[in-house]
A and B are shown apart, each in its own frame.
Chain A
Amino acid sequence: MQKFSGFELFRRALGGHKSWQPQWRNPEPKAEYDVIIVGAGGHGLAAAYYLAKEHGITNVAVIERGWLGGGNTGRNTTIVRSNYLFDESAALYEHAVKLWEGLSQDINYNVMYSARGVLMLAHNHHDEISFKRHVHANRLNGVDNEWLTAEQVKEFCPPLNITSMRYPIIGGALQRRGGTARHDAVAWGFARAADSRGVDIIQNCEVTGIRRNASGAVEGVETSRGFIRAKKVGVSAAGHTSVVMAMAGLRMPLESYPLQALVSEPVKPAFPTVVMSNTIHAYISQSDKGEMVIGAGTDAYTSYSQRGALHITAHTLDAICELVPQFRRLRMLRNWGGIVDVTPDRSPIIAKTPVPGLYVNCGWGTGGFKATPGSGHVFAHTIARDAPHAINAPFTLERFRDGFLIDEAAAAAVAH
Chain B
Amino acid sequence: MLIITCPWCGARPEVEFRYGGEAHIARPADPSALTDQEWADFLYNRTNPKGLHAERWRHIHGCGRYFNALRDTVSDFFVTTYKAGEPRPDIDASSGGNP
Contact = CB atoms under 8 A, between A and B. Distances in A.
**A and B touching (Cβ–Cβ under 8 A):** yes
Interface of A: 240, 242-243, 251-256, 300-305, 309-311, 344, 400-402
A400 B42 CA distance: 11
Contacts of B76: 303, 305
Interface of B: 1-2, 14-15, 18-19, 21-22, 36-37, 39-41, 43-50, 53, 55, 71, 73-76
A300 B36 CA distance: 29
B73 A401 contact: no
A6 B58 CA distance: 59
B46 A255 contact: yes
A254 B43 contact: no
A400 B43 CA distance: 9
Interface centre among A252, A253, A401, by most chain B C-beta atoms within 10 angstroms, is A401
A253 B45 contact: yes
B36 A344 contact: no
A253 B41 CA distance: 8
Contacts of B47: 242, 251
Given A255-B46, A300-B14, A300-B18, 13 more contacts: A242-B48, A253-B46, A255-B22, A256-B48, A256-B73, A302-B48, A302-B53, A304-B74, A309-B2, A310-B1, A311-B14, A400-B43, A401-B39
A4 to B, nearest CB: 38
Contact of A303 (B18, B37, B46, B73): B73
Given A305-B74, A309-B14, A401 B40 contact: yes
A141 to B, nearest CB: 28
Given A251-B41, A401-B40, A305 B46 contact: no
Nearest to A343: B44
Contacts of A301: 19, 55, 71
A207 to B, nearest CB: 13
Nearest to B48: A242
Contact of A251 (B1, B45, B50): B45
B15 A304 contact: no
Nearest to B14: A309
Contacts of B22: 255
Nearest to B57: A301
A246 to B, nearest CB: 8
